[in-house]
A and B are shown apart, each in its own frame.
Chain A
Amino acid sequence: MKLEVGNIHVEELAFGNESTLSGHRVEIDKGTLINFIREIDHRITEVKLDIALPGEKTRIMPVKDVVEPRVKVSGKGHIFPGRNAGENDIVGEGRTHVLKGMTVMTTGKVVGFQEGIIDMSGTGAEYTPFSKTLNLVITCEVDDTCNQYDHEQILRTVGLETAREVGKLAKDAEADEVNTYETLPILEQAAQYPDLPKVGYVYMLQSQGLLHDTYLYGVDVKAIVPTLLYPTEVMDGAIFSGNCVSACDKNPSLVHQNSPIIHELYKHHGTKYNFMGVIVTNENVTLADKERSSNWVAKLAVQQGWDAAIVSEEGFGNPDADLVMNCNKLEGAGIKTVLVTDEYAGNQGESQSLADSTPKGDAVVSNGNANMIVELPAMERLIGHDTYVDMIAGGTEGSLRADGSISIEIQAITGATNELGFHNLTARQG
């Protein structure tokens, strides 16, 4: 499976009379796009569009998802497949264009208590990758017939559909750069570099339920047994977020689209190792599910002939047990592992970092301590609602001060300790 990804670098984002891409400038016809969004679901009561740019004194919260506008130029399928009628083709082949450097972001009244803060300047901006992007922010509210699950589903659909709509602007554009990614069917892939170690990626996805959910081709991943993917499928949106768990270490859909470990593994594919492919697995809430899924991960890795695996976690707490089970069972099958996670080690880093542990986990990358406290200055403009600061994970009573400044754990900042290494934090042994 071979995919060409053409990036169009967006350097300016503004509202205009017509939605256009001209050179590196995107203009959005606000009225037409608001009408498009309102049509997505009859329970939507209010839609507001804003643009948030790097360096502005702007705070966006509570942020639900961040999505990258992409479009299929050639090849089968649709970006974010498996949700709509007639959109069930397998993706990951052909050519895809990306509006690189801009995002579609969703906010509105809180759905789950673990949604994020994005500051476009000040201390908070250093802790989120999305202070550097040009953000088209949708504030969307729903009527009171919606329960939390309806609310989440509507906002999720609004983010994905709007990103696809904006992505269409890139269809006929000339790409600034084109990267080609290819993974062969397994027997051919193994034969291509027979002398290099076979390395695979175990992609753990949040699936705890209660608004901690992720979707694979539209399927709630708590209902899957681990399965195989070509790495390019995720670049076309095969995996997307419905996850309101901790802002710092959940993977927004944009992070899945740009899945950092997959892109990094492609860099040395064919020179240092043979990148064989991806196993996607879940993080469910019963022991039987955890045992079954980790057994399947090890089974599939052996079946694929892997010598080594990189295993990334999403979220924290009980998924640490899934991480440890995956490690123990892969290592037990003779497959070397590197684990990628973050830590909840207390404000000063004095506590146990993960809920579970194993001596076999002797190669671990940490993406930072989510309990670290930061001071966020007051901002001049707020998109969304800041009344939720005290209740979101990472905040406590009194986190939001009367002057608009905030004292909070970085847990509350979108992408701060992203466990795929999408942002810049890490931790070393002291």
Chain B
Amino acid sequence: MPVVHIVTVVPISVTVGANRIVPAVAIPHPLGNPKMSQEEEKLMRREMVVKSLETLTTDISEQTVF
């Protein structure tokens, strides 16, 4: 089953061997950003989630940071 890590500290996911990695915003708020307006933040979050879903159907041959 394909799995994607949405993660802030990408090198840790690389070290532990995750195959699909999507970089996140920050450790206390991986899919949010308190500096944005709520509308902008929601758009950003949707983009990240959609991107992450797309990685699940993307063929890869090695550990990949999207």
Contacts and interface: CB of A to CB of B under 8 A. Distances in A.
Interface string B1-23: 00000001111100100000001
Contacts of A285: 8, 26-28
A287 B9 CA distance: 6
Secondary structure at the B interface, as helix, strand, loop or mixed, is loop
| Residue with the greatest number of chain B CB neighbours at <10 A, chosen from A286, A318, A320, A358 | A286
Interface in A165-215: 208-210
Contacts of A286: 8, 25-27
Q: How many A residues are at the interface, by size bracket?
A: 10 to 19
Contacts of B26: 285-286
Q: How many B residues are at the interface, by size bracket?
A: 10 to 19
A325 interface: yes
A321 B28 contact: no
Contacts, number: 37
Nearest to B14: A356
Contacts of B28: 208-210, 285
A357 interface: yes
B32 to A, nearest CB: 12
Given A208-B27, A209-B28, A318-B27, A290 B15 contact: no
A325 B11 contact: yes
Contacts of B23: 287
B12 A355 contact: yes
A24 to B, nearest CB: 47
Contacts of A208: 27-28
A30 B26 CA distance: 46
A339 interface: no
A285 B29 CA distance: 9
Nearest to B23: A287
Interface string B23-44: 1011110000000000000000
Given A208-B27, A210-B28, A318-B27, A287 B10 contact: yes
A423 B11 CA distance: 31
B14 to A, nearest CB: 9
A356 B11 contact: yes
Contacts of A111: none
A324 interface: yes
Contacts of B8: 285-287, 318
Contacts of B10: 287
Nearest to A325: B11
| Residue with the greatest number of chain A CB neighbours at <10 A, chosen from B9, B23, B27 | B9
Contacts of A290: 9
Nearest to A212: B28
Interface of A: 208-210, 285-287, 290, 318, 320-321, 324-325, 355-358
Interface of B: 8-12, 15, 23, 25-28
Q: Would you list the 9 A-B pairs with minimal beta carbon distance, nearest first?
A: A285-B27, A321-B9, A286-B26, A285-B26, A356-B12, A356-B15, A318-B9, A318-B27, A355-B12
Given A210-B28, A356-B15, 6 more contacts: A285-B8, A286-B26, A287-B11, A321-B9, A321-B11, A358-B15
